[in-house]
Structure 1
Amino acid sequence: MALTESNEFEIGAFAPDFTLINTIDNTTIQLSHNKGENGTAIFFICNHCPFVIHVNEELVRIANDYKTKGINCIAISSNDVVNYPQDGPVLMKENAEKLQYPFPYLYDETQEVAKAYNAACTPDLYLFDAELKCVYHGQLDNSRPGNNIPVSGEDFRNAIDVLLQDNTILENQKPSIGCNIKWK
């Protein structure tokens, strides 16, 4: 596994719109029609990455905790499924159902969405306000596989709470760290 930090994504930049297939129910999801009333979280994840496996349950908790507060969550997998078949749409659906994802799990077959977001790793986490302007792009928390720090979602939860309270921008945003996206 190649340890990779998230790339720069300008705070204040608008979320690039996309239309992708939700592997859970085979529906088409367009970001502009599925944004949250108060904000939208986008998670670039995959099935096999140990960093994603480490935080999956917390991503589910975050989505469930903030759904009633007008925050929609969307997960996207952009990995090359030819060389990483465990990240293919059929197994994405199985994984989402097993983990009870309360958010769509979209397949970015062309990898164009990941490129538009300058995504680099899994997990790569973004938070956008009600107008889809980026307010946070960074880590979930300080926990990593093997470092014995419990997964809390502290950094990402704090970003959502600040957005919901007064829509200010957090100054210190630590990049996410994980496996590199598996490019074609």
Structure 2
Amino acid sequence: MIKFVQAGGALQSHDDIPEDIRAQIYAEVQQDVDRRRKRRAPSVSSCPPINITNVLPTQSPQASITQPGGPQPGPVGSGVRKTRLQIPEPLDDAVRSYTDWQQSRFSSISTHMEYQKACRLTLDECLDLELVSERQDVEFYTKNGVKQGVAHRFVRDIELWADQFNDDVV
């Protein structure tokens, strides 16, 4: 980047970084993520098998009747959280770390750019990951130019990231 600036290039924002330099940076980040993942991941053969049985409890007819004026069930995925996210770093830094993590899951530069756009929108509106997770407002991102897939993952995967983040910290 120093050579780029010395040759007369201007670096005023992320958008000014040349594509070849971006690709190098993203490749280095991906290698770092892969190294961490390898260190953390147990050998598949050493893990015992897991059996999962999904059984829904039966409901009595009385329990399924909603009382007038009582609480009404919310829409699926209404975004109401029962527990707070545990993020032991400044909230704006957490948004950046989360964005880096999301970008590490994709190799496409254009997808990385979309995640940067989502990150900027989040920080520009003084939102943090807990607020984004509570609101589940994908439309906020899509209305502001973030592509559908990135908007959905940006809103949906926060708890997954927080769990992994806290596992790495411990």
Query: Which TM-score band (shorter chain)?
Result: under 0.3
Structure of greater relative contact order (alpha carbons < 8 Å, 6+ residues apart)? 1
Q: Could you tell me the TM-score, scaled by structure 2's length? A: 0.24
Larger proportion of helix = 2
